[in-house]
Amino acid sequence: MEWQPDEQGLQQVLQLLKDSQSPDTATQRAVQEKLEQLNQFPDFNNYLIFVLTSLKSEDEPTRSLSGLILKNNVKAHYQNFPPNVAEFIKRECLNNIGDPSPLIRATIGILITTIASKGELQTWPELLPQLCNLLNSDDYNTCEGSFGALQKICEDSSELLDSDALNRPLNIMIPKFLQFFKHCSPKIRSHAIACVNQFIIGRAEALMDNIDTFIESLFALAGDEDSEVRKNVCRALVMLLEVRIDRLIPHMHSIIQYMLQRTQDPDENVALEACEFWLTLAEQPICKEALSGHLVQLTPILVNGMKYSEIDIILLKGDVEEDEAVPDSEQDIKPRFHKSRTVTLQHEGGEGEDGEDIDEDDDDDDDTLSDWNLRKCSAAALDVLANVFREELLPHLLPLLKGLLFHPDWVIKESGILVLGAIAEGCMQGMVPYLPELIPHLIQCLCDKKALVRSIACWTLSRYAHWVVSQPPDSHLKPLMTELLKRILDGNKRVQEAACSAFATLEEEACTELVPYLSFILDTLVFAFGKYQHKNLLILYDAIGTLADSVGHHLNQEEYIQKLMPPLIAKWNELKDEDKDLFPLLECLSSVATALQSGFLPYCEPVYQRCVTLVQKTLAQAMMYSQYRNHLHHSNENNLNISFHQSEMAVQIILREDSTAFEF
């Protein structure tokens, strides 16, 4: 007999769902406690699926919330569900995948995918055949709901679907999906492409067997009016360029023309997907031959994509010039340190909400605007193409640069400075004749009234630091150093960060050229200790450590030691052993100890003893972890990893062979 809810129990569950939408903290806490109690009763999950799929009288947010709570229960406790409960949930999901509400359909799709991810694809044999059969339904909602669920399954289980474990269902699914590329609904067309796209990088055999049909179907959708379809077409072509370029070469001219259009698409998501094409093409041996005739079109498109959009400026608080007194939020406080230019290329100091990471392999996963966007992708594409074409790119760029760098609109001028930085590595030789004029202009831009211009000028100047250092010191090095130090004390946190990172790059390049200015440099860096919020303080540690590495024993003078060590030791004493900030401070002290040599002696014993303590603590934790790892919470593993990092730095200080500081 089919399960039916008890009316009183149903009302309790509904009240709980209503309460869970309350903003009141006490109510939320009570709801959480009640949920934990109810999860002891397997029937509770039946009530949740009933509200989601059958209680059409309830509002959609409440029904969807019921499904999301059930999804969380599936993730946490599915192995404990009685078989009849699990079967009831699965049956209700498939029977209601065509709910008239898009929100409810999507929620059911998420629930199906979550169940499938718990190893149920093997024990739910009717799932894939039934979803594929429902694609043929005359009811749009049923077709769309089934496709939505299939897309999520393809995203989560692409390797399993292409394996013998499931008897290779892709042999049926791929041809089926390709049929829907011509569907009258743009939503269905988009689902179909997105499903197939999941199997390109893995070179699924079923897709490779149908590769020509797939490519022809993509070409047929090139002019599609729906932005989501265009986005998925662009994504497919970018991946095919990586794994099956042999099939694209005969059509390369047409594909390039299409991507030139799409990189200018009014929908930024489409433009971003298309812009990825140039990054991927630059890695292919055919790049130079394929693109040579198109640079005149492509270059201004990429340059135009490097401007901040209006929404970028709003999100970046581009109208806020002084924010140094505003405490960092939690998402701001993710330590990122200066890296050598031979490792990665980073705009604006390589960090911040809009740290312009040209190297897309960099592991920056900051939230908000730090996520990959059209501006960053355009800059990255120009960077890699500059490395492919070198000086051949300049005839297309220089006329544009002249108009950008001196433009009265700060947004346009800022993009020009970014362009100049992006081509620094690839086009350096061709840019040398222009640098005596450009570098003073960039140094002047460090004083611009707009913080975003000042910050990008810091980054771009760091890209030309090697050339600056190769010139007579008074011509460019001294003016650049002086202005960067002023920007280190800027009233804007983004500029502080960019300047600190740029100065670290300059330190690496200049090395002992900085010795005559050490007193001035240390005065500035020490003063910054009193200005900086949490995040930039971590970057300041790195700048100090890089300075010590660069000037070495020249730092070992009583005047410099008295300037530098008190604030470092104050921070050292302030931080607890478990504090994550201890790691960058240890790294900084490691470099300082090496540079000061015997000058570090007055600070040696307390630092040494604490380093030994850190190592001992970590070893003790490691022993506990090895004995009880099956019972430790994941967060304890994270804490242990942090301890290992700190211990590693402590050992480096203890065992530093090139320092006499620890010879008691």
Domain parsing of the chain, residue ranges: 556-626+635-663
Predicted model pTM: 0.83
Across 299-323, b (16+ Cβ under 10 Å) vs e yields bebbbebbbbeeebbeebebeeeee
Residue 370 has pLDDT above 80, yes or no: no
Three-state DSSP state, 357: strand
8 Å CB contact between 246 and 205: no
79 φ, ψ (degrees, to nearest 5): -65, -20
One DSSP character per residue, 591-638 reads HHHHHHGGGGHHHHHHHHHHHHHHHHHHHHHHHHHHHHGGGS-HHHHH
For residues 443 and 482, the answer to whether their CB atoms sit within 8 Å is no
Whole-angstrom CA distances from 113 to 93, 127, 146, 458 are 11, 10, 11, 47
Q: How far apart are CA 17 and CA 14, in angstroms?
A: 5
- Look at residue 77 and tell me whether its pLDDT is greater than 60: yes
- CA–CA separation, 304 vs 268, rounded Å? 13
Residue 335: pLDDT above 60? Answer: no
Q: What is the mean pLDDT of residues 314-331?
A: 74
Does the pLDDT at position 660 exceed 70? no
The identity of residue 264, as a single letter, is: Q
Q: Stretch 364-373: mean pLDDT, rounded?
A: 53
pLDDT value of position 315: 82
Mean pLDDT, the chain, rounded, equals 86
At residue 443, does pLDDT exceed 60?
yes
Distance CA 416, CA 139 (A): 53
The answer to whether 131 touches 150, Cβ cutoff 8 Å, is yes
What would the two tokens of residue 519 be? 């007193």
Angle, CA of 395, 398 and 400, to the nearest 5°: 115
Q: Among 40, 41, 99, which residue's Cα sits nearest to residue 67?
A: 99
**More confident of the two residues 320 and 494:** 494
pLDDT confidence of residue 351: 35
Q: pLDDT at position 643, please?
A: 47
- For residues 591 and 600, what is the distance between their CA atoms, to the nearest angstrom? 11
Looking at residue 322, what is its pLDDT? Answer: 77
- Which pLDDT score is estimated for 344? 35
Q: How many CB atoms lie within 10 A of CB 133?
A: 12
pLDDT, one tens digit per residue, over 581-610 is 888 898 899 899 999 988 998 888 778 777
Kindly tell me if the per-residue pLDDT of 636 is higher than 90. no
Read off φ and ψ for residue 357, nearest 5 degrees: -80, 105
Residue with the bigger pLDDT between 236 and 351: it is 236
DSSP β-bridge partners for residue 357: 346
Decide if 408 contacts 372 (C-beta within 8 A): no
How many of the other CB atoms lie within 10 Å of CB of 56? 12
**Res. 365 pLDDT band, cuts 50 70 90:** very low
Q: How far apart are CA 593 and CA 595, in angstroms?
A: 6
CB 219 within 8 A of CB 179: no
Q: Give the mean pLDDT of 251-279.
A: 96
Q: What is the structure's pLDDT at 369?
A: 42
What is the distance between the alpha carbons of residues 13 and 37, in angstroms, rounded to a whole number? 12
Question: CA 656 to CA 401: how far, in whole Å?
Answer: 48
* Res. 372 pLDDT band, cuts 50 70 90: confident
From the CB of residue 272, how many other CB atoms can be counted at a distance below 10 Å? 23
What does DSSP assign to residue 309? P
Model confidence pLDDT, tens digit, residues 519-533: 999 999 999 998 998
539-561 burial: b if 16+ Cβ within 10 Å, else e: bbbbbbbbbbbbbbebbbeeebb
- Average pLDDT over every residue of 40-69: 91
